[in-house]
Chains A and B, each alone.
Chain A
Amino acid sequence: MEFWRIGFLYLTGFCLLSVSCESEKSCEQPTVSMLKAGFYSVQDSIPEAASVDNFTVYGIGRADSLLYDQANSVVNFDLLLSPSGDTTGFVLTLGAKTDTVVFLYSRELHLLSMECGFVTYYYIENINNTSNAIDSIKVVNKKVTTGDEENIQIYL
């Protein structure tokens, strides 16, 4: 047994020395859920990506803060939904015409990781819009996350 007593002490020391310390990791992924939209037009019954000039967007109630300010050649864009309510509206200016788009959605809090914290995932339930420049809006992916997948297609 003496051999094992010595071995025990040796290995105990080894194990105590090799207690690993965790290093603080940093967040290395997107932490904002963005609604991703694309412009489309229908040519010969086939949807095609469309480009918009003089594109301006702001949230209803936030006319003082533009999300896009007279941007040109816009094919797709991102919108921030409000994490504090179930409805968010935007005013979109497309060239010389202006439309209002209101999103109705449900929300889900989601822990990305210990390093990144929480984000809100949104589930689009309905969209109401005016139709000055916009012909229709199609929801292609109702779940709005931090990913890159397109959520809505705006047909002009």
Chain B
Amino acid sequence: MRRIFKYTFSLFMFAWLTAGAQTNGLDIGGLRFGFDISRIAVPFLEDGRVEYDGSIDLRINKDLYPVIEVGWGDFETEKINFKYRSTGYSLRAGIDKNYLKKDNADEMGMFFVGVRYGLSFFKHESPFLKISDPYWGDYYGAIPIKNLHAHWLEFTTGIRVEIIKNIYLGWSLRGRLLLNKSDDTNMSPYYIPGYGKVSGNTNMGFRYSIFYQLPLKG
């Protein structure tokens, strides 16, 4: 099933890129750096969760924008009987296609639909745990750090608007499909940097970013 997803994704990307290149030709435009400012609010909304996320996208013709996103995440929670911590990096690569009608190709404002392939390398641990046993006595222990990885597909849509010259604001919605995660017999990963909390094989996310465009013209 995972292979089918991988091949479908690759074919989809290839078809999209070649279709775009054939109809419009390559026309390298602005290079744009983004920083997800909604991550600033995360520690205030959820104690123990800290995330940073940035992106680079490049216009390769009128409406196609290959994009790379990198992130770092740290999640720590303390329950009555245990602590859990997960921290690590994520890399997401994909492409956005603009559907906003432009007056000229150089405009970088966009309403887009895109896909990403996401990969995360992270580690998790339980530095403290207690198992209550009224008969034999409570047990205290820990799960040592384990290095793990996970990968997923991400489908996104959103808009970006030029607020002042070369500065953009934009939001995007993310729907994620977890393809695979490392196996850990002691505890299944609860938080994957870049993906978020694991509950089943899907989740939703929201990003709100500020962008700076380097004005390039190919």
A62 adjacent to chain B (CB < 8 Å): yes
Q: Which of A4, A65, A88, A109 contacts B186 (CB 8 A)?
A: A109
**Which among A80, A83, A118 has the greatest number of chain B C-beta atoms within 10 A?**
A118
- Interface contact tally, CB-CB below 8 A: 88
Q: Which residues of A contact B (CB under 8 A)?
A: 1, 4-5, 7-8, 11-12, 15, 19, 22, 59, 62, 65, 67, 80-84, 88, 108-111, 114, 117-120
Q: Which residue of A lies closest to B142 (CB)?
A: A109
Please give me the 3 A-B residue pairs with the lowest Cβ-Cβ distance, nearest first: A111-B187, A83-B139, A82-B136
Docked CA distance A120–B140 (Å): 11
Docked-complex contact B137 and A59, CB < 8 angstroms: no
Docked CA distance A7–B110 (Å): 12
Docked-complex contact A117 and B159, CB < 8 angstroms: no
Interface size class of B (residues with CB under 8 A): 35 or more
- Given the known interface contacts A8-B169, A12-B208, A109-B141, the answer about A59 and B136 at a Cβ–Cβ threshold of 8 Å is yes
Q: Which residues of B contact A (CB under 8 A)?
A: 45-46, 77, 79-82, 84, 100, 107, 109, 111, 126, 129-131, 133, 135-137, 139, 141, 143, 159, 161, 169-171, 173, 185-188, 190, 206, 208
Instruction: Tell me how far the C-beta of B3 lies from the nearest C-beta in chain A, rounded to whole angstroms.
Output: 29
Q: Which residue of A lies closest to B169 (CB)?
A: A8
Docked CA distance A83–B140 (Å): 9
* Set of chain B residues within 8 Å of A11, measured between Cβ atoms: 159, 171
Instruction: Tell me how far the C-beta of B31 lies from the nearest C-beta in chain A, rounded to whole angstroms.
Output: 21
Instruction: Tell me how far the C-beta of B77 lies from the nearest C-beta in chain A, rounded to whole angstroms.
Output: 7
Q: Which of A82, A84, A117 contacts B79 (CB 8 A)?
A: A117
* Set of chain B residues within 8 Å of A120, measured between Cβ atoms: 131, 139
